[in-house]
Amino acid sequence: MPPEPVKIRNIHVQKFRNHTQSDAVFGGGINAVLGENGEGKTNLLEAISYLCLTKSFFGSSDAIVLQVGENHFEIAGELEADAGIRYHVAVTYDRLQGEKKFSINRSPVASFAEVIGSFPVVVLSPESGAITTGGPADRRKFLDFVISQSSKVYLEDLLEYRRVLRQRNKVLFDGRVTRSDCTELLEPWDEELVDRGVRITHRRKVFLKELQPLVNEAYGRIAGRAENPSLRYQPSVRHAEEASEAEIRRQFEEDLRRTTGEERKLGVTLVGPHRDEMHLEIQGLDVRSHASQGQHKTFLVALKMAEFLYLQAKQNERPILLLDDMFTELDSHRASRLLTLTESIGQVFITATSDRVFPPDFDWADNHRRFVVQQGTVEHEESSVGTRAVSRRRA
């Protein structure tokens, strides 16, 4: 049997962005969120990401998403995961206390990291374009986001690596400012940096090998088989393709010794996973410098569909798919292919300014639903098959 989809059955949003109070009951298939720009469509998807990821997929701070002039926001919903088990999930933020709380079945979680991967989600938005057009940090963010949803061990290593890196950089910076020898202070941080860094490097390498055939499959379904997309990992700690963790460790330690003088001169750590790169190529040529706009979009969609398939296999359940304003970004051919791919994969949320991105005879009955967002208010549209005439009711 195919994996069961993760679903968000309903949501309550209060004092979040421009939603003073919104409620919606979603379908298990495609949920079209329609409305003009600035009305609150994307904000609804952003609220869903809070329930799945504890934060905005934009990376916006909690204070930024709080409605202007308010001190508190709340998002709550019922999610279905683990082959049908339902969970009441809620997140609140208090500006005056500067505190965010997250609960599952009304029990607070000890750490937000506990939530990551519990309700897997894939997000494709215009901001995702930085994966193919941006710098190495954007592609590292993609790597970390996907692997962290599938591996709590990786997420723990990543969070600890970042903590160690901050401390090590502080020691280096202080040593540079005071012109003092910081060798003894660096030693414990060096050891932990290598421990965590080696595991991160090895896991990223394995992940890209597993992702490559999924990207090939998705790219072929969108653009045909004439082009050959490839992912190439370039770790900061250079090593042979089949190097073991022990061999990576030896190279990491050697690189740290080699860069000691330069690190102390600059006051920052110069080697490690925080300086890795993931190259995206078509026919062996770098996407950033050689791909057309259409190829950029095709590669991005293929990456996201591969991410979906990867998480589905690792978590044994189908992620929620959030497509924010993507159909205006694609030509009609690619938009049609993407819509075909999403029709039967699970629960999907699509924002658009109108339902004309869907075929005129699209069946909005049963599992698929349409919502209209106006001035932060969500209404469910009911319509018969093959007609644009609708009746509206509060969601």
pTM: 0.92
Structural domains of the chain, with CATH: 1-120+319-395 (3.40.50.300), 135-315 (1.20.1050.90)
Reported confidence tier of residue 65, pLDDT bands at 50, 70, 90:
very high
- What's the rounded mean pLDDT across residues 197-201? 97
Reported confidence tier of residue 390, pLDDT bands at 50, 70, 90:
very low
> For the chain, how are helix, strand and coil distributed in percent, rounded to 5?
45, 25, 30
Burial call 340-379: b when 16+ CB within 10 Å, e when fewer? ebbeebbbbbbbbeebebbeeebbbeeebbbbbbeebbbb
The DSSP 8-state label assigned to residue 239 in this structure reads -
Q: How far lies 185's CA from each of 23, 80, 170, 373, in Å?
A: 54, 48, 10, 56
- What's the rounded mean pLDDT across residues 221-235? 90
Higher model confidence: residue 67 or residue 391? 67
- What's the rounded mean pLDDT across residues 105-121? 95
